[in-house]
Structure 1
Amino acid sequence: MILIFELTWRGRAHVLSNAVTINTIACAFADENIHIFAEGEHLDGPRASS
């Protein structure tokens, strides 16, 4: 299990960078579950960018 916490940024700030990073982690550790914790609007960005 991989836990990702975004505690600094809110809203749409740098969501594309987060999406790329999360996708890289997901590809590198394909057998692991990834749980992301962040402010609600911030979470929408990686989903939309995937």
Structure 2
Amino acid sequence: MNDKDYITKELELMKHECERDHLCPEEWVRRNAVKYHELHSKLEQEEKST
């Protein structure tokens, strides 16, 4: 999956979760910051090892 597809997929997920949980995008980001920070760190480590 290329970066554009990944970002598009994540934005659609965010929109769905915001509507479902009645959140504004800023609140969604606050709630998911740790999750995405950990994911990003993991992806960076994988890229460095390859």
Using the size of structure 2 for normalisation, the TM-score is: 0.44
Higher relative contact order (CA 8 A, sep 6+): 1
If the length of structure 1 is used for normalisation, what is the TM-score?
A: 0.44
Rg larger for: 2
Instruction: Name the structure where helix makes up a greater proportion of residues.
Output: 2
